[in-house]
Structures are given as C-alpha cells and as structure tokens.
A and B are shown apart, each in its own frame.
Chain A
Amino acid sequence: GDSVTQMEGPVTLSEEAFLTINCTYTATGYPSLFWYVQYPGEGLQLLLKATKADDKGSNKGFEATYRKETTSFHLEKGSVQVSDSAVYFCALSDQGGTYKYIFGTGTRLKVLA
C-alpha cells in the first residue's frame, strides 16, 4: 500500500540556519503531496502542497518540489526562525477515491536563538 517515509528527528538548528527535512513516498498513481505543521497543543495546519510532478509548493519561506523520478518531496527553508519550532508532517493523498491522507511519522524541529 501507499506509504510515506520521513527523516527521523529531532532536528536542532540555530536561528538563520538552512533546513532540509527529507520525505519520500511510495504510491500507485500520482498522489498529491502535502506538508503540514503542528505546533504544541494544536491541530495540523497546511504548510504547502503540490499536486503534480515538478510542481513547487511554497509558503512562509518554506519550499518543496514534487520529484516523481525520486519519489520525494523534501521540505526546505533558507533561514529558520525560533518560531518555526514545531513538528512537520509529510503526507500524500490516496487517489483511490476517498483521498484519505497517509502521513509520515513527523519530524520535530527545534530552533535555538
């Protein structure tokens, strides 16, 4: 079945450092891909998405490119801030009719001032 694999955390960076969180997927068909962010005690917020190969999603300085050839959707940010500290989830949308999400296990990011 479909699956998503994320790099394990926690990831600890200094403010203004470059961020990469790796995400690869296995899926039949051509799923949409998403990054969600979860702040402590809160639900999931959509960060960005891409719906087809070579699409680049971007939001709040974060970017991710849908790479069909490597089945990847890595999240990047050029300069992280303390306020970016959160858990980041990569997900795909099952194209079998329900469009339910398959999530990775999440990567905790901690940014130090």
Chain B
Amino acid sequence: DTGVSQDPRHKITKRGQNVTFRCDPISEHNRLYWYRQTLGQGPEFLTYFQNEAQLEKSRLLSDRFSAERPKGSFSTLEIQRTEQGDSAMYLCASSVAGYTDTQYFGPGTRLTVL
C-alpha cells in the first residue's frame, strides 16, 4: 500500500517541549496539506504546499508552528513550546495538481500535551 503515511502515530509530551511530525505523501502527489482535528470537530486547515513551496498558512498556525517540505517530497510539522491547547490529531493529506482536487489522508498523529 502506498498511501499517505505519518509518523509518529501518537506523541505524548510535556508542556513547553518541542515536537516534530513527519508526513510522507503519495509519490507523484505535488500538493500537501496539514490539518488539525480536535475532539468532536471537523479537521481545520493549517497549511498547504505545492511542491516545496508553502503557499498558504492559516491564522490557526501561530508563530510556534513551522512546516517544511524540502525537495517537495516528505513534510515536517514542528510545534515549539507546546501548550495543552495543542493537543489534537494532526492530519496530513496529499493530492495531484490538475483537474481533480481529491485529497488522500494519512492516519494522523495524535498529540497529547500534559
């Protein structure tokens, strides 16, 4: 299966620590998205890459958040100085630029900040 993969699947950290998540999109997918999903809510858009360029960031993405996609392949999402409010499921999705806008989602990384 060559779907979207995310690592780690679960992360427990203490407030104030830094965490980094990785997403490997489907190969040949040049669009990559990060979303955050809190309990009982739908996913909310965080940021978008086309190839290696980060083209949009949500206002939800505070200065403590940074995302990269070097070489247009995998992507990382880093949260510095984590807060309890950062506890959520972080979802990655990828798609192919073109006439179809269907996104394929990874299993997510569940972050718990103690």
| Chain A interface residues (CB < 8 Å from chain B) | 4, 32, 34, 36, 42-46, 49, 89, 91, 93, 97-106
Contact = CB atoms under 8 A, between A and B. Distances in A.
How large, as a class, is the contact surface on chain B?
Answer: 20 to 34
Given A99-B31, A101-B103, A105-B40, 11 more contacts: A32-B101, A34-B102, A43-B91, A44-B43, A46-B102, A89-B43, A97-B55, A98-B56, A100-B45, A101-B35, A106-B40
Interface of A is mostly: strand
Interface of B is mostly: strand
Contacts of B82: none
B95 interface: yes
B108 interface: yes
Contacts of B106: 43
